[in-house]
Amino acid sequence: MRKILALLLGLGACASPPATVAESKPPAAIATTNVPAVSSDLMRALEPYQAVKGASFGDWLPDGRGLVFSRRAGSTSQLHIAHYGGAVEQLTRFDEPVGGGAVAAGWNVIFSMSAGGDENNQIWRMNLHDRKPQRLTDGTSRHQLMAMNRAKTLAVVGVNRRGARETDLFVMDLATGGLDPLLETRGQSWSAADWSPDDRKILLLHYVSANESYPHVMDVTTRKVTPIPIPGGGKASHDAFAFASNDAVYLSSDAGREFQTLARVDLATMRYTWLTEDIPWDVDAIDVDGDRAVFVANHDGASRVYLLEAGRRTTVDLPLALVGGIELTGQKLAFTLSAPDAPSDVATIESGRLVRWKLSDVAGLDASRFVVPERHSVASFDGTTVPFYVYRPLRAGKAPVIFNIHGGPEGQYRPSFGGLTQYYVSELGCAVIGPNVRGSSGYGKTYLAADNAEKREDSVKDIGAILDWIAKQPDLDASRVCVTGGSYGGYMVLASLVHYGDRLRAGVDIVGIANFTTFLKTTSAYRQDLRRAEYGDERDPKMQAVFERISPSNHAEKITSALLVAHGRNDPRVPFGEAQLIASKAKGPVWTVYAANEGHGFGKKENRDYLNAATVLFFREFLLK
C-alpha cells in the first residue's frame, strides 16, 4: 500500500529549506471553513480506495445475450451494457448520476436523473439502436419510476404536478411519454409494486410508516381499488410484493407476527397461506416468473436466497453477502451481490452455477487484506439486546474506534463493502463499528418501533452501552472514539456528542438533523407527513415539548468535542439550514464542508473524494493523536 509521505526537514546550517507539500484544491463547488489544506500525497494515498468501482444489475437485454448494469464512469454512476463474452459498453454519459436501467419494449432503456442532488427526477429513454437519450417528462415536476407492465410498454409513475405535497400515480406510455391518470393520492404515499401476468391488475401499497402500510389491488380498466385485508385487522407492515398469478399475490407481512413473513394471498377469497413461518427473519424481496419464484430473507443483516417451485422451497447456495435487484427470467436468476470483502458486482445463476460477471474493480488493492466484520451484541440500559458489527484492524495494539451509524432511522447497518471503511482499518489502524440501535429494521417490529416519538433518545443510550463494551475490550482504545453518520445517523452523531461528549473525541455529521422542529417544518412538503409518522408531529404541543428536549441544537453548549459538518446546499430531505444551525452553535472546534451542487449526500466523485480526505485530516487531528 502507498503510505502518506512524511515531511522531511533539513538539519544543520547547510540544510536545504523545508520541502513544500503540494496541495490538492477543493472542487469548485465545495466551500469550507477551518479545514486545513489537503495534500496531494493524502489524495494519492486515498485514491485506490476511492477508485474502487461496484456494479449493480439493471435488466436483461431482450435477446438474452447481455445485460444492463450501473457503474461509476468518471464522476457519477452511469449505465453500461455487458455482453456474454466480456465486452462492456458505456450507454449514458451525463454529468449527473443516472438511476434505473430497465429495458422496455423496442430495445428502449428507461432511466431517471435529477440535477445537483435536488431529487426532482425526470424520466429518460434511450434506444439501444441509435443511443440517443430523450427526456420523456416535463422537466419541472418530480417523477418516480415504479412498476413496468409485463409487455414492457407501460410503467406506473408518481408525479407531483398538482402540487409539492401531491404525488399522484399515472400510467406512462414508454414509447411517447404520455401520462394517463391512475390514482389521485390526496397527499398520501402510494406506490406500485407489480402488474399481473395479463397486465389487467396492479399491486399497490399505501405506505404510512415503517410500522404501517396497506396492500391493494387495482383493476386497470375500471380503476377500482380493492384492499387486501390484514389478517386479524389492525396495523401491519408489508415489504416484498409480486403477483403469483392473475388471481393471487405474494407479499410479506408482520401481521400477527414479529417478522415480515411471506404469504400467498388468493385474491378471490383473500385467504393467506403463510410460507416462511419457520424463518425468523424478514423476507424483503421477491420475484416471480411463471410458476417459479425467488425470494430473499434478511438473516441478521446478510441475505439468504430461496427458490419456490412446484410447492417446494430450496436454498440457493451463495456466499455471505447482500443480494439486491433480483430478477428471475426462465432458468436464469440475476442480482447484485455485495460481500463485506468485495465490492458489489453483477451475479447470475445459470444451470445451477453461480457466475460473477467481474464488472467491479478493486483499483489494484490487495483484496486479501480486506477485513470482514464480526457480529457482536450488548445488553443496553433496559436489557434490550443491541447488535453491531466490528471491523478490527490487522495490526496489533489498542485501536482507535470509529462508529458508523446508519440513517433511516428505520434503516439497518448491513455488512457490505466500503472502500473508506477498509482504508480506516488497513491504513489508519482503526476499528470500525456499525451499530444497529433500537429503531433499526431487520430485528422484528417490536425493535423497529422501540425508538418512536418520545422514546427517541433510548437509541442514543444504546450507543452508550456499546461505549461500555469498548472499554472492556483489550484491543480497543476507549480514550480514542469518534462517531460518524449521515441523515438520521447525523442526528445520532450530534445526540451522542451531547450525551457522551466526555467519552467521544469527535463527530462527523453528514446531512444530519440538528433540530426536529425546524427539520419537519422545512423538509420537502411531500415528505412531511411521512416523517411525522416516524418522528412525531411538531404541531402537537406534547411532541413539540419532546423535540425541544431532545434536539441537539438546543443543547449545543454540550458539544465541546470536535465536529465536522458536511452538507449539500440543495438537500430536499434534510435542508441545508440544519447544518448551518449546528455549526454556528457547537462549542468545540468545527470544520465545515458544503457543496453547492449536491443534495442529500455527496453523489459526485470529486466532491466525495475531497470530503473523505478532509475527514481523514479531521481524524488525524482529533482522533489519532
pLDDT digit string, tens, across residues 341-355:
999 999 999 888 899
Q: How far apart are CA 140 and CA 155, in angstroms?
A: 19
Instruction: Tell me the average pLDDT across 84-112.
Output: 94
CA 215 to chain centre: 24
CA dist 151 and 105 (Å) reads 7
Whether 102 contacts 147, CB under 8 Å: no
Distance CA 396, CA 429 (A): 9
Residue range 206-232: average pLDDT? 94
* 404-426 core/surface letters (b: 16 or more CB in 10 A; e: else): bbbbbbbbbbbbbbbbbbbbbbb
Neighbours of 100 (CB within 10 A): 18
- pLDDT tens across 529-562, in order? 878 878 888 899 999 999 999 999 999 999 999 9
Helix, coil or strand: residue 343: strand
| Residue 233 reports pLDDT greater than 90 | no
- Model pLDDT, residue 125: 96
Q: What is d(CA 480, CA 400) in angstroms, rounded to the nearest whole number? A: 5
Instruction: List residues bridging with 433 in a β-sheet.
Output: 390, 403
User: What backbone torsions phi and psi does residue 98 show, to the nearest 5 degrees?
Assistant: -110, 135
Which cell is 289 given?
416468473
How far apart, in whole angstroms, are the C-alpha atoms of residue 540 and residue 569?
Answer: 29
- Strands 431-435 and 399-405, by their bridges, are parallel
Instruction: Specify the DSSP element, H or E, that contains 45.
Output: helix 40-51
Query: What 8-state DSSP symbol labels residue 624?
Result: I
More confident residue, 597 or 528: 597
CA distance 227 to 65: 40
CA distance 483 to 63: 49
CATH match of 28-50+369-624 with 3.40.50.1820 = yes
User: What does the alpha-carbon distance between residue 327 and residue 329 come to, in Å, rounded to a whole number?
Assistant: 6
Give alpha helix (H) positions in 374-479.
419-426, 445-448, 456-471
Following DSSP, what letter does each residue of 365-388 receive, concatenated?
--GGGPPPPEEEEEE-TTS-EEEE
Nearest to 330 by CA among 294, 284, 286, 285: 294
At 579, phi and psi to the nearest 5? Answer: -65, -45
% of the chain surpassing 90 pLDDT: 81
Q: Cell 432511466 appears where?
A: 111
Distance CA 108, CA 65 (A): 16
Is 5's pLDDT higher than 60? no
8 A C-beta contact, residue 555 and residue 547:
no
| 528/184: higher pLDDT | 184
As a three-state string, the secondary structure of 152-216 is CCEEEEEECCCCCCCCEEEEEECCCCCEEEEECCCCCEEEEEEECCCCCEEEEEEEEECCEEEEE
Q: What is the mean pLDDT of residues 383-403?
A: 95
Q: Give yes or no for residue 10 having a pLDDT over 70.
A: no
Concatenating the DSSP letter of every residue in 531-546 gives HHHHH--TTSHHHHHH
The model's pLDDT over 76-85, given as tens digits with 9 standing for 90+, comes to 999 999 999 8
Cα distances from 308 to residues 491, 577, 596, in angstroms, run 41, 49, 49
Q: In which band, very low, low, confident or very high, does the pLDDT at 17 lie, cut at 50, 70 and 90?
A: very low
CA distances (Å), origin 124, targets 94, 150, 171: 12, 19, 15
User: Judging by DSSP bridges, how do beta strands 431-435 and 385-391 pair with one another?
Assistant: antiparallel
Which is more confidently placed, 7 or 115?
A: 115
As a whole number, the mean pLDDT across the chain is: 92
Closest by CA position to 75, among listed 464, 457, 608: 608
> pTM higher than 0.85, yes or no?
yes
Mean pLDDT throughout 576-584? Answer: 96
